[in-house]
């Protein structure tokens, strides 16, 4: 079993870096056959240009960067740990740039049973990281990973994270990730979504909510939200739902646009573009 830690901080010897290095040590201790740590900053990842060549022409992305090199490293990982600092309530831009390449990524990776992953966000302060875990987990789900666990550790200055219970929490998480076997989701009452760990919910009506990340219905009840097993096992990021979305929406983008082109050109002329 190969264990990969991906550090999405630019800070050398920063909190994410130190926790990533510790995680590799623990992973090897608790049963991983091999461990590797990579820094996202070492990969040149360019911003998606929205040309859609990667899907419509069955080609690789035309951007000349390290995307496929990075995906090859990820492909080899049975277990993946993603560690990222919080930047202005959310993930660092480089991670979002990777996420924006989702179409090219999903064409390239065989995301069926891609493996398991855990995400750890590093924040300076409680109440200053509300979007971190959902966004980190969108990255993992878009890579076809099942998110086993996801949590925040606290530390501001580089190394500060070593002074609290973060180290023990990371150790326990690595242990769980290494030993995790695939299970179907069970019905559960909880305060965060079991798929992507979002604790931000859309209100539908009455006591009905849904997770905006995976669209799983959540019924407000005593002690949290009730999630039903059947809903949890058919969330937005399942292979079947993604295939539907790909075939019925993304692949139809070009013909749909072509069918409207005359009308758009006419409208643009009318509006002086």
Q: Whose CA is closest to 73, among 35, 47, 32, 24?
A: 35
Q: How many residues bind ligand FMN (CB under 6 A)?
A: 19
Could you tell me the smallest distance in angstroms from the CB atom of residue 152 to ligand FMN? 8
DSSP bridge partners of 203: 209
CA-based max dimension of the chain? 68
Residue 48 touching ligand FMN (CB under 6 A): no
- CA angle, 155 then 159 then 163, to 5°: 65
Could you tell me the smallest distance in angstroms from the CB atom of residue 156 to ligand FMN? 5
Residue nearest to ligand FMN (CB): 14
Select 61 or 153, whichever has its Cβ closest to ligand FMN: 153
In terms of DSSP H, where are the helices of the chain? 15-29, 53-56, 67-75, 93-99, 102-108, 132-142, 166-179, 229-232, 239-248, 253-270
Q: Applying CB under 6 A, which part among 8-16, 101-109, 136-144, 188-196 lies near ligand FMN? A: 8-16
Query: Which element (helix H / strand E) includes 118?
Result: strand 116-123
Residue 122 touching ligand FMN (CB under 6 A): yes
Select 80 or 86, whichever has its Cβ closest to ligand FMN: 86
Residue 16 touching ligand FMN (CB under 6 A): yes
Could you tell me the smallest distance in angstroms from the CB atom of residue 136 to ligand FMN? 13
Residue 37 touching ligand FMN (CB under 6 A): no
Question: Is residue 116 classed as helix, strand or coil in its secondary structure?
Answer: strand
Q: Which listed residue (76, 128, 164, 229) binds ligand FMN by CB under 6 A?
A: 128
Q: Applying CB under 6 A, which part among 48-56, 62-70, 120-128, 240-248 lies near ligand FMN? A: 120-128
Residue 89 touching ligand FMN (CB under 6 A): yes
Q: Whose CA is closest to 175, among 75, 81, 83, 85?
A: 81
Spatial separation of the C-alpha atoms in residues 50 and 62, rounded to whole Å: 11
Name the site residues for ligand FMN (rule: CB under 6 A): 9, 11, 14-16, 85-89, 122-125, 128-129, 155-156, 158
């Amino acid at each position: 079993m190969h264990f990969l830690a991906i550090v999405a901080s630019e800070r050398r010897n920063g909190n994410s870096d130190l926790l990533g290095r510790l995680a590799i040590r623990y992973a090897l201790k608790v049963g991983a056959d091999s461990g590797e740590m990579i820094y996202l900053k070492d990969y040149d990842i360019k911003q998606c240009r929205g040309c859609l060549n990667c899907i419509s022409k069955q080609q690789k992305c035309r951007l000349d960067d390290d995307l496929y090199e990075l995906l090859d490293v990820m492909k080899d990982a049975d277990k993946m740990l993603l560690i990222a600092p919080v930047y202005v309530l959310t993930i660092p831009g480089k991670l979002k740039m990777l996420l924006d390449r989702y179409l090219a990524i999903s064409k390239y990776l065989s995301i069926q049973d891609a493996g398991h992953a855990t995400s750890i966000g590093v924040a300076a302060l409680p109440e200053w990281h509300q979007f971190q875990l959902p966004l980190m987990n969108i990255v993992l789900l878009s890579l076809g990973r099942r998110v086993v666990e996801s949590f925040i550790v606290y530390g501001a200055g580089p190394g500060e994270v070593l002074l609290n219970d973060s180290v023990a929490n990371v150790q326990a998480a690595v242990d769980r990730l290494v030993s995790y076997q695939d299970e179907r989701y069970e019905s559960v009452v909880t305060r965060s979504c079991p798929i992507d760990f979002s604790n931000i919910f859309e209100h539908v009506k009455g006591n009905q909510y849904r997770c905006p990340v995976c669209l799983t219905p959540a019924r407000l009840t005593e002690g949290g939200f009730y999630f039903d097993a059947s809903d949890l096992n058919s969330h937005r990021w399942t292979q079947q739902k993604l295939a539907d979305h790909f075939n019925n929406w993304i692949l139809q983008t070009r013909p749909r646009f072509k069918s409207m082109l005359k009308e758009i050109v006419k409208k643009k002329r009318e509006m002086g573009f």
